[in-house]
């Protein structure tokens, strides 16, 4: 048996790639389903992440196998159908082949884009980095590609089912050589008609596959698979606070280590009441801050909903956090806000060092603080740092205009 196809038989490389695809598929699909279904908890987080890492790594092995396979198929004659006279059967078989080939590219690609558009938490096990050129880390890109991954993989599964049913029908009912000529080690099996010409992929089966993709996308969009998840928690309405400064732009970010890599996130909704004088009062106080944070507005890479859940921030039980502090000069330079942070029902002393640059009535401030999540009862069950680090770095950057 040769490496290459002939007009009536598959060569050994085409067969090898075909059965290797099946083998990988038998690992990748169950891994995806099991990892997806595993609840996140202190006992399962590591397992869930490992299963997803394996899913992604083998999924990419499938992707590259598929690319090689497609290039090889393009360079080869396609063995002719054994019953070209059965028009409908022939059309269906070829349409399913088109669906399978295209799915082998777009299913892993959509998973890969989803992975590259989110931060954290289950890395691909390879040395080439986790990002993709032209794919930004962005919640909308992540949501759309996750939806596409689901739609595409459902079509792939249906196509595999039809394909296997077709192969079995030929083998068991028609008792022809369709399956046998794809099995390893067989010699050239002659097609029934003499003077066999090479099989075609066909324009109509190709168009049929396109119509099925369009229908699947339409149904998926209709079911809301392509839109962003509704926010995992309610976002609290924040009270008005007294302020001498109008915050024009700002970010309140946090970063934590997860499985050894840093995941960054931020709160979309917070208010800051700032009173600040360039000269200190008799107690050395330059002013005060009163920051309120809507916990439900947090986004944290691919683990936002887990972070907002009861084990971590418990956004439904504790919808807001508040930081009130007085501002003093920092002996190390800049300023130091000294005050209390109330988060998840716990109030703890938190110093925040910051720098301030004034330009007329515009102030730019940039500060950092470090918290230990255990002080606030966040992730209590996760009592070693291999899953989620204890230290949380908080960053504040804002530009504010003085109100007169
Ligand atoms: C042909 C290859 C692949 C197949 C057949 C496949 C199939 C699946 C399946 C069946 C699920 C479970 C979905 C569910 O139960 O709703 C899943 C989830 C997922 N896959 Fe894949 N996948 C493939 C490749 C990849 C690759 C290469 C990546 C990333 C590099 C990836 C990333 C993901 C992610 C992140 C999820 C979770 C989505 C979520 O929970 O929202 N997949 N995949
Ligand atoms: C138990 C599982 C499977 C069986 C029994 C099977 C059987 C077959 C057979 C008998 C053929 C030759 C059809 C012909 O000569 O017209 C074939 C071709 C093909 N199979 Fe499978 N297959 C299986 C799984 C898969 C999977 C998982 C994929 C990909 C996701 C796949 C993709 C293809 C493609 C794309 C072709 C067309 C090859 C070409 O002509 O270029 N198969 N399969």
The enclosing domain of 91 has a CATH number of: 1.20.950
pLDDT on residue 1 = 59
Total number of domains in the chain? 2
Residues 258 and 134 in one domain: no
For residue 188, give the 3-state DSSP assignment. Answer: coil
Read off the pLDDT of residues 319-372 as tens digits, 9 standing for 90 and up: 999 999 999 999 988 999 999 999 999 999 999 999 988 888 898 999 999 999
Torsion of CA 372, 378, 383, 388, to 10 degrees: -80
pLDDT on residue 232 = 60
Instruction: Give the residue-averaged pLDDT of 302-313.
Output: 86
Read off the pLDDT of residues 223-241 as tens digits, 9 standing for 90 and up: 988 876 655 667 778 877 7
Residues 260 and 342 in one domain: yes
Q: Is 186's C-beta closer than 6 angstroms to any atom of ligand 2?
A: no
Distance 201 CA to ligand 1 centre (A): 28
Distance 170 CA to ligand 1 centre (A): 31
Q: Could you tell me which of 66, 63, 87, 95 has the C-alpha nearest to residue 215?
A: 95
> What is the pTM (predicted TM-score) of this model?
0.83
pLDDT on residue 7 = 87
Residues 168 and 271 in one domain: no
Read off the pLDDT of residues 138-194 as tens digits, 9 standing for 90 and up: 888 999 999 999 999 999 999 999 999 999 999 999 999 999 999 987 655 555 454
Handedness of CA 46, 118, 227, 207 (dihedral sign): negative
Residues 202 and 293 in one domain: no
DSSP state for residue 73 in the 8-state scheme: H
- Residue 185 belongs to what domain range? 12-222
Show the ligand 1 pocket: residues with CB < 6 angstroms: 28-29, 32-33, 36, 55-56, 59-60, 62-63, 107-108, 111-112, 114-115, 124, 146, 149-150, 153, 156
pLDDT on residue 121 = 75
Distance 19 CA to ligand 2 centre (A): 8
Instruction: Give the residue-averaged pLDDT of 127-133.
Output: 92
């Amino acid at each position: 048996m040769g490496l290459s196809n002939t007009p009536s038989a598959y060569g050994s490389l085409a067969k090898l790639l075909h059965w290797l695809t099946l083998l990988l598929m038998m690992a990748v699909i169950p891994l995806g389903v099991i990892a997806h279904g595993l609840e996140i908890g202190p006992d399962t987080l590591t397992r869930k992440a490992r299963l997803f890492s394996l899913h992604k790594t083998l999924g990419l092995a499938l992707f590259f196998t598929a690319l090689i396979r497609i290039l090889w198929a393009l360079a080869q004659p396609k063995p002719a159908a054994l019953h070209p006279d059965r028009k409908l059967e022939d059309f269906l078989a070829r349409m399913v082949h088109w669906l399978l080939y295209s799915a082998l590219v777009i299913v892993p690609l959509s998973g890969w884009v989803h992975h590259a558009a989110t931060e954290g938490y289950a890395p691909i096990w390879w040395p080439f980095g986790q990002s993709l050129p032209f794919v930004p880390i962005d919640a909308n890109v992540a949501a759309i590609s996750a939806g596409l991954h689901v739609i595409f993989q459902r079509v792939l599964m249906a196509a595999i089912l039809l394909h296997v049913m077709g192969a079995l029908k030929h083998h068991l009912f028609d008792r022809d050589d369709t399956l046998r000529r794809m099995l390893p080690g067989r010699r050239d099996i002659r097609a029934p008609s003499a003077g066999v010409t090479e099989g075609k992929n066909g324009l109509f089966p190709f168009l049929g596959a396109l119509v099925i993709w369009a229908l699947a996308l339409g149904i998926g969009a209709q079911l809301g698979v392509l839109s962003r998840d509704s926010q995992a928690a309610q976002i609290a309405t924040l009270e008005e606070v007294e302020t001498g400064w109008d915050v024009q732009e700002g970010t309140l970010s946090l970063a934590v280590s997860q499985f050894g890599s840093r995941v960054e996130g931020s709160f979309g909704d917070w208010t800051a009441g700032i009173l600040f004088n360039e000269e200190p009062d008799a107690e050395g106080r330059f002013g005060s801050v009163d920051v309120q944070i809507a916990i439900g507005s947090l986004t944290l890479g691919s683990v936002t909903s887990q972070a907002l859940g009861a084990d971590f921030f418990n956004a439904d039980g504790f919808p807001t956090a508040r930081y009130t502090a007085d501002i003093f000069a920092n002996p190390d330079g800049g300023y130091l806000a000294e005050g209390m942070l109330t988060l998840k029902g716990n109030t703890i002393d938190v110093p925040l060092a910051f720098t301030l640059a004034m330009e007329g009535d515009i102030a730019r401030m940039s500060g950092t603080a470090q918290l230990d999540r255990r002080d606030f009862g966040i992730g209590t069950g996760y009592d070693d740092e291999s899953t989620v680090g204890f230290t949380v770095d908080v960053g504040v950057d804002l530009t504010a205009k003085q109100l007169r």
